[in-house]
Chain A
Amino acid sequence: MDRIKGVELSGAEIVVRCLQEEGVEYVFGYPGGAVLYIYDELFKQDKVRHVLVRHEQGAVHAADGYSRSSHKVGVCLVTSGPGVTNAVTGIATAYMDSIPMVVLTGQVPTHAIGQDAFQECDTVGITRPCVKHNFLVKDVKDLAATIKKAFYLASSGRPGPVLVDIPKDVTTHQCEFHYPETVTMRSYNPVRKGHAGQIKKAAQLLAEAQRPMVYTGGGVILSNAAPLLTELVQRAGFPCTNTLMGLGGYPATDRQFLGMLGMHGTYQANMAMQHCDVLLAIGARFDDRVIGNPAHFAQNPRKIIHIDIDPSSISKRVKVDVPIVGNIPDVLDDLLKQLGGAKTQDIAPWWKQIEEWRARDCLRYDRKSKIIKPQFVLEKLYEITGGDAIVTSDVGQHQMWAAQFYKFDKPRRWINSGGLGTMGFGLPAAMGARLANPGATVVCVTGESSIQMCLQELSTCKQYRLPIKIINLNNRYMGMVRQWQQFFHGNRYSESYMDALPDFVKLAEGYGHRGALIDKPADVEPALRDALARKDELVFLDFITDQAENVYPMVPGGKGITEMILSEEL
């Protein structure tokens, strides 16, 4: 956009023009005093559409779901003070999972900052630890360049949320509008290409591996590296596992896929992770839920190659032999070239071992149960949708079962809060995902506790006609809390029982949606089929499930990843 000579725009107009320049389709937000001028400008145009949520947390999660399902930058707009503090949970959620997002926040006028003004809070201070970067714009002349920087920072390098705090007077001040085409910052230059020597070393290690293992995380999804990863794994014939954040990075229905690893990972994935001799880690960060106790993990010697865009993720919890800092697709491209001619080892004995582990069938559950098993609902959901739905989830047992039982063959179909573990994420994230993918089947897998944390967004779904299918696995407990209490706190179910639950069917109807209660296994499939066939309606399916069901396998906190509690052992 060229400078418009002589024409001065207000700060509010500039904000909206910047969003237009960035090609922003949707802004998720909630108006308030400090952002009134911006809302006024939004009203006067129709390029950037605003989605009115019912709580600012919902706005951020919706922008987050929009981004995760589309690889575009999510954008939200909230007012000062409580608008910001309500948004913080959403921002921290996006930060932990490295989601590209721009958060625009209103602020009290510059002269009132620091005066404890009405609806004032130290936005930049409060959000500093949970954003990739943030800005307070004090001069309208800096506004356009700052917003440009925010989009650039959010989407480059290791992505993350970037916040721009805009005082109310800045939205009324005027200046010429000029949207910069590029950004140069001497302090910020993310790398792309990996170090050639390191990539060569990695290729050598992989070629010599007797027991190779590929372990990938959210970085593969975020960098759109799934096709290259699949090519690499299939060409090499290696086993592959994904983290919770990495599901869909490698096709789950492929034989080389061992399932998710970690605290609720499969037996075969955790065993292979522990016993491999060369581990190729890509866009993953060896976090506590993935490798359990690092000292236990280190007991088995293995060479580790770690590819990540963020140097600080490398050798943070686990010492790495071959670090490769770079953009994953660039590095995989080079690695594939390096591997091209190399002769790999005969790994048939390793596969034989893995198949023995796989034969334990660690996800087995009672299929003859007269009470609905949550796993059964998810298996059916997978069958009926042909694995082609976008599935969002909240946090808890249902999240783990969804990750275990819904087989994601493609990236950006599985949307959940892995890092922060935010209950209430699922429904607003589903709204964002549906807006980013019109026509797609979007399912929110949740529980009766999680869904109540952002329930108000059912109203937003009505307003924007978002036909999300809510799968409420209702066990009348905070299931994961209850499971830990059963295992580690002597069956004392302290405050984990959900008494006085609402009638979810009536509740859904109250918001103008359709609801159904399902309490018999035989009704599960018909109910799912009926709901999924209703293309234009939000359907809330309240499945009354087995209260005592636990997620297996389970690695207790602080234990090694092979120290799993398996279902048949209990």
Chain B
Amino acid sequence: MRHIISILVENEAGALSRISNMFSARGYNIESLTVAPTEDASMSRMTIVTVGSEDVIEQITKQLNKLVEVVKVVDLSEAEHIERELMLIKVRAGAKEREDMKRMADIFRGRIIDVSDNTYTIELTGNGHKLDAFIQALDQGAIIETVRTGASGIGRGNRVLRI
């Protein structure tokens, strides 16, 4: 099953590599990984999307907790949570396609953030499925380039991850 694991980790050199090393050394899978500092600059927050049985996810959280620089670990998918991912997608938008492409971006609540004679760059936010759906909805030949951040997640309501 797919799980979203959120990690608070000391913002120190090597911390990312310790975590990614642990996944590869133990044969766990990383679908996506995002990391950036939190409001407290001494600490980073990482979101890892992984796939595994309950036993595997239990070991992953235990092995993460064992790393000296890891402050806290939570499996967001255990309860209500919100998940978002950002995609920037550059598409062909010549005279013929311009109108259609604009409409398509609007339907998905995307924003056109860069325009040239024959391209649009569209910013789109949502969960992974929404981004996938947008890609599917486009004429495949129209896609020039895509870049996705991988999922970030946060618990709903009073569910918080902090120290």
Contact = CB atoms under 8 A, between A and B. Distances in A.
Given A187-B70, A312-B62, 18 more contacts: A124-B14, A125-B17, A128-B14, A133-B68, A133-B69, A153-B68, A185-B68, A187-B9, A188-B68, A310-B66, A311-B62, A311-B65, A312-B59, A312-B65, A312-B66, A315-B55, A315-B58, A319-B55
A211 interface: no
A236 B63 CA distance: 34
A154 to B, nearest CB: 11
Nearest to A138: B13
11 contacts: A128-B17, A129-B25, A132-B68, A136-B14, A186-B163, A187-B68, A187-B70, A312-B59, A312-B62, A312-B66, A319-B55
Interface in B1-57: 9-10, 13-14, 17-18, 21, 25, 55
Given A128-B14, A128-B17, A316 B59 contact: yes
Contacts of B62: 311-312
The 8 closest A-B pairs by CB, nearest first: A312-B62, A133-B68, A187-B71, A311-B62, A188-B68, A312-B63, A312-B66, A129-B25
- Name, among B18, B55, B59, B66, the residue most crowded by chain A CB atoms within 10 Å (CB to CB): B66
Interface residues of A, number: 18
Interface residues of B, number: 20
Contacts of B58: 315
A128 B71 contact: no
Contacts of B25: 129
Where chain B touches its partner, the secondary structure class is helix
A316 B57 CA distance: 11
Interface in A102-146: 124-125, 128-129, 132-133, 136
B10 A128 contact: no
Interface in B64-103: 65-66, 68-71
A187 B55 contact: no
A187 B66 contact: no
B37 to A, nearest CB: 15
A341 to B, nearest CB: 34
A186 B9 CA distance: 10
Interface string A178-214: 0000000111100000000000000000000000000
A137 to B, nearest CB: 11
Nearest to A188: B68
Contacts of B71: 186-187
A268 B78 CA distance: 44
